[in-house]
């Protein structure tokens, strides 16, 4: 549908360019006499209007190349065209235009063409804009769904070989683990440990197998206990 809109826009640009050149040449009275159309008076207004039509044609030509301008320019210029055609037909119906039958027919055809082409441009521009909005909404929804899927995959648990890596990833500190050698059993620390107090210091609990204070210091020389730096 957008390709059709560009085609109609290009044809309307050519029509507006021809009208602009014709209005700028309104000082050429013999030209208007040849096509049997009343010459505009005063000429200044016709020439200014001709420049405006050429500007519209230039804008329409750029809109056929730039896809971002196509629907907007088509809608605006379409309204300009059908309103201009309505004015031409209104003046013809009122009978205030002094022209021969051939000139009236030419003006009637021109007004009808402007009216029809303008209506087609407005209709196509509205359809293309609605389609673009629907596509943009669908793409936005797909991006949102894709973001949710990626977050879910990123948050999924991973299979780590080392338990310490898993604990660090969760923000906790892992306790060292002792590996059992092959072919034997690992030595087991039989010293009972008291629960952690408020200070967080682990205090071993004396047992029957733990050495007493006298036994632990008996092996140390007497002089070293008094002055270890001597």
Query: Average pLDDT by consecutive 10-residue portion of the chain (230 residues)?
Result: 89 94 90 84 91 94 89 92 93 81 87 94 90 83 66 48 51 52 51 50 51 47 49
Number of folded domains that form the chain: 1
How much is the pTM?
A: 0.57
Integer distance in angstroms from the first to the last C-alpha of the chain? 102
23 inside domain: yes
182 inside domain: no
34 inside domain: yes
106 inside domain: no
pLDDT value for 29:
83
C-alpha–C-alpha distance, residues 214 and 216, integer Å = 6
C-alpha–C-alpha distance, residues 195 and 224, integer Å = 35
189 inside domain: no
102 inside domain: no
Residue 20 and residue 13 in contact, taking contact as beta carbons nearer than 8 Å: no
Range of the domain at 9: 1-67
Alpha-carbon distances of 102 from 33, 36, 105, 109, 155, rounded to whole Å:
11, 6, 5, 11, 79
Residue 205 and residue 193 in contact, taking contact as beta carbons nearer than 8 Å: yes
What are 86-112's pLDDT values in tens digits? 999 998 888 777 777 788 888 899 999
pLDDT value for 86:
94
Average pLDDT, the chain: 75
C-alpha–C-alpha distance, residues 16 and 14, integer Å = 6
**SS3 assignment, position 193:** strand
Note the helical H segments in the chain: 2-24, 29-34, 43-65, 67-94, 101-155, 163-170, 213-218, 222-226
Burial classification of residue 196, based on how many CB atoms lie within 10 Å of its CB (0-12 exposed, 13-18 middle, 19 or more buried): exposed
76 inside domain: no
58 inside domain: yes
Closest Cα to residue 26, out of 50, 45, 43, 10?
43
C-alpha–C-alpha distance, residues 120 and 79, integer Å = 10
Residue 104 and residue 97 in contact, taking contact as beta carbons nearer than 8 Å: yes
């Amino acid at each position: 549908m957008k390709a059709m809109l560009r085609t109609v826009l290009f044809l309307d640009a050519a029509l507006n360019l021809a009208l602009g050149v014709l209005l700028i040449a309104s000082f050429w009275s013999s030209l208007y006499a040849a096509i049997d159309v009343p010459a505009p008076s005063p000429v200044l207004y016709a020439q200014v209007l001709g420049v405006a039509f050429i500007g519209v044609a230039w804008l329409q030509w750029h809109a056929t190349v730039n896809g971002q301008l196509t629907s907007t320019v088509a809608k605006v210029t379409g309204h300009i065209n059908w309103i201009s055609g309505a004015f031409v037909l209104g003046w013809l119906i009122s009978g205030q235009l002094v022209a021969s039958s051939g000139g009236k027919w030419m003006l009637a055809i021109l007004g009808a063409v402007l009216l029809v082409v303008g209506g087609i441009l407005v209709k196509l521009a509205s359809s293309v804009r609605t389609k673009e909005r629907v596509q943009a909404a669908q793409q936005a929804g797909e991006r949102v769904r894709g973001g949710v899927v990626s977050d879910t995959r990123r948050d999924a648990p991973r299979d780590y070989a080392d338990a310490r890596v898993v604990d660090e990833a969760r923000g906790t500190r892992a306790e060292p683990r002792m590996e059992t050698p092959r072919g034997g059993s690992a030595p087991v620390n039989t010293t009972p440990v008291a629960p952690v107090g408020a200070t967080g210091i682990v205090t071993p609990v004396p047992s029957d197998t733990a050495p007493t204070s006298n036994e632990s210091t008996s092996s140390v020389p007497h002089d070293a206990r008094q002055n270890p730096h001597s």
